[in-house]
Amino acid sequence: MTIKGMVVHFRRDLDDHEAERTMDALMMIKGVSRASPIAADYEDDLNPQRVKRELRDKLLALSDDE
């Protein structure tokens, strides 16, 4: 198998200083030609809330069926 790239996700959002240091470290890895940040936006906060709400609604619907 041949890999041409990777996507890395962090457990939490990084501040500008941390992101810059991380990108610098990635660029030091042999073969890395580019490291680009992806800005966090409001959807990153809304998605977990939406998933929780949808799951809650499905569980409630299951309990109503009984």
Q: What pLDDT sits at residue 13?
A: 87
* 7: helix, strand or coil: coil
Q: What pLDDT sits at residue 66?
A: 63
Long-range contacts of 27-31 (CB under 8 A, 24+ apart): none
* 14: helix, strand or coil: coil
Per-residue pLDDT tens digits for 20-61: 999 999 999 999 999 888 887 777 667 778 888 999 999 988
Is residue 46 within 8 A of residue 40, CB to CB? The reply is no
In sequence order, the 6+-apart residues with CB closer than 8 A to the CB of 44 are 13
Q: What pLDDT sits at residue 26?
A: 94
Q: Looking at residue 31, what DSSP letter applies? A: T
Confidence of residue 3 (pLDDT cuts 50, 70, 90): confident
